[in-house]
Structure 1
Amino acid sequence: MIQGSIVALVTPMFDNGDIDKDSLKKLVEFHIEQGTDAIVSMGTTGESATLNEQEHMDVVKSVIQYVAGRIPVIAGTGANSTSEAIALTQAAKEVGANACLLVTPYYNKPTQEGLYLHYKAIAEAVDIPQILYNVPGRTACDMLPETVGRLAKIKNIVGVKEATGDLSRVTVIRELCGNEFAIYTGDDASSCEFCLLGGNGTITVSGNVAPRLVHEMITAAMNGDRETATSVDALLKGLHKYLFIQSNPIPVKWAVAEMGLTSKGIRLPLTWLTEDCVDKVRKAMKQAHVL
């Protein structure tokens, strides 16, 4: 089971929107040195919605090559088309991903039965560990714990990223799915408490900026060390809040560029962080001792 602090990696770009491979390699080395436990490449934070399929898989393949087996790489392969999700998942398997993360279909708002059949079709088509991803705030689709419980019975569906911020779902999903099923949070603000309640880790935006602190906090929380976990999390509270002051990944891309890790690029329809937000993000970074 992949556990711990799993960074939802940004995709570095030049100001014209082209992928910055040198910065991508630098980011991978930074995360391995800082103790990040695994990388998600081409999730929402990686701007998967604005890359075409060839670019998408080129980034995933590059991350896998740069990591060179040192930590697991999870490829984001979700789509609102089941056939497209199958194709991306098959491609991720072929380039050597350790697992795939599949967001619920967005915009088309399937029923719970539709969600079940969507994920079942992908799991049956591609033999690779698959992690469900529920983020209704962005998809307008909430996959209920009962549906997760049904899907957990499928052998290669191994976990869920639950990004509702609803801490009660940790216990409910655990009871439905058992101890071998991984439950990750996708909500940085509640990640400490989530893991203290028995979660298996976080798929984190804040971890792009303060990976060592997020790793320390999540490790302590998973070990039941509330005092250490909450103490470290206090340093991260500003990041958990202000990295979402504008739509993700706008603030986090500004932050990693400010740290000198990447170029200053983002793709439309997203735009660069506006000046009225800069001081708030910078203050949060100083609170976390990364500036």
Structure 2
Amino acid sequence: MTQAPRLSGVMPALVTPFGDDGKIDFKAFEKLLDHLRAAGVTGWVPNGSTGEYFSQSTEERRAVLQFVKDHAQPGETLIAGTNAPATREVIAQTRMARDIGYDTVLLAPPFYTRPTPDELIHHYETVLDAVDVNLVLYSYPAKDGADIGFEVLDHLADNPRVIGIKESSGVLQRAVDIASRYDGRIQLVSGSDDIALDFMFWGAESWICGPANCMAKACCDLDRTWKAGETDRAREMMKTLYRAMNSLESGKFVQKIKYGCELQGLPVGAARAPLGPLSDAEKAEFRAAMEPILNW
């Protein structure tokens, strides 16, 4: 195992492009990754919820991980989403990612099962015991139905392989609490996109960012501007980004991001069922919110 990475910069939680035949479109994928790299992203996070891992077979998930690993350049961070509903499936997905060359994985609580804090601690420890990887926790209770509470974080905070938490609860107070309680132990990773600048203020040096698929330059510029100490300019950028980010948080997240890619001239196909298409009104609303970003 290499030394645990210090996470930094914008790392897109990658969409998975699908062709009209319903299969993964790797030509569209390559075009998207080249575009994101040119915008200044620092790494790649395939097979997260934005990547529709829940709709993919193991073979498809393996193909996505391998493709992104092959595309990555030295110095770019690689974090594999290896979530699944049961611990043994998470271990299998995590082993697969490790074998392909991913040293770090992103793991939310197993969805649907609503594990207790003790069960969740046991789940994460079992995965870490089974596979030699670093772990970024993923807190998104609205989707997973379970919270990574402070009882869990207190237990894991001194494990050197639990390196960060992507905080997507949307509750800023929780991000502040994490930043203050676990400073120097668990890295705070921005995951609530419409308050990304607030996360930066509270010490998040990295942003695992679904919207970066369709607004990469704007997200990377915000990150760079904040780190350059240009606070007022960063605030103006966040104002410009806010409407589109807030629209994404309001629902149909994956479909809107894929539509945003289309607006950027990077079509990545439709989302898989049960995720349905956007209505004309939803498209118009998101297109209007994206307008200043398309002209960034």
TM-score band, normalised by the shorter chain? over 0.9
1:112 aligns with 2:117: yes
User: 1:95 & 1:157 partners in 2: Cα distance?
Assistant: 20
Map of 1:192 onto structure 2: 197
Map of 1:36 onto structure 2: 41
Structure 1 residue runs without a partner (length 5+): none
Q: Which amino acid aligns with 2:41?
A: T
User: 2:69 & 2:49 partners in 1: Cα distance?
Assistant: 18
1:8 aligns with 2:13: yes
User: 2:185 & 2:158 partners in 1: Cα distance?
Assistant: 11
1:16, distance to aligned residue in structure 2 (A): 3.2
1:254, distance to aligned residue in structure 2 (A): 1.3
User: 1:224 & 1:161 partners in 2: Cα distance?
Assistant: 23
User: 1:175 & 1:243 partners in 2: Cα distance?
Assistant: 28
Map of 1:201 onto structure 2: 206
1:105, distance to aligned residue in structure 2 (A): 1.2
Map of 2:101 onto structure 1: 96
1:173 aligns with 2:178: yes
1:6, distance to aligned residue in structure 2 (A): 1.5
1:74, distance to aligned residue in structure 2 (A): 0.9
1:125 aligns with 2:130: yes
1:23 to 23, 28, 40: 28
Q: 1:245 to 1:177 in 2, by over 3 A?
A: closer
Q: Deviations over 1:2-60 (max 9, x none)?
A: 21212111110013321000011111111111001221101000001100111112101
- Alpha carbons 2:157, 2:185 under 8 Å: kept: no
1:223, distance to aligned residue in structure 2 (A): 5.5
3-state SS of 1:13 partner: coil
3-state SS of 2:45 partner: strand
1:225, distance to aligned residue in structure 2 (A): 3.8
User: 2:48 & 2:286 partners in 1: Cα distance?
Assistant: 22
Q: Which amino acid aligns with 2:289?
A: A
Out of 166-175 and 201-210, give the one that drifted further.
166-175
Q: Deviations over 1:210-231 (max 9, x none)?
A: 1121112123335554212211
Q: Which amino acid aligns with 2:182?
A: C
2:245 to 230, 235, 240: 240
Map of 1:273 onto structure 2: 278
1:49 aligns with 2:54: yes
Map of 1:213 onto structure 2: 218
Map of 2:293 onto structure 1: 288
- Alpha carbons 2:214, 2:258 under 8 Å: kept: no
Structure 2 residue runs without a partner (length 5+): 1-5
Question: % of aligned pairs identical?
Answer: 27
- Alpha carbons 2:194, 2:249 under 8 Å: kept: no
The RMSD of aligned alpha carbons is: 1.7
User: 1:145 & 1:226 partners in 2: Cα distance?
Assistant: 31
Q: 1:246 to 1:170 in 2, by over 3 A?
A: closer
1:178, distance to aligned residue in structure 2 (A): 2.8
TM norm structure 2: 0.93
Map of 2:78 onto structure 1: 73
1:179, distance to aligned residue in structure 2 (A): 1.6
1:253 to 250, 258, 263: 258
User: 1:235 & 1:138 partners in 2: Cα distance?
Assistant: 27
Map of 1:143 onto structure 2: 148
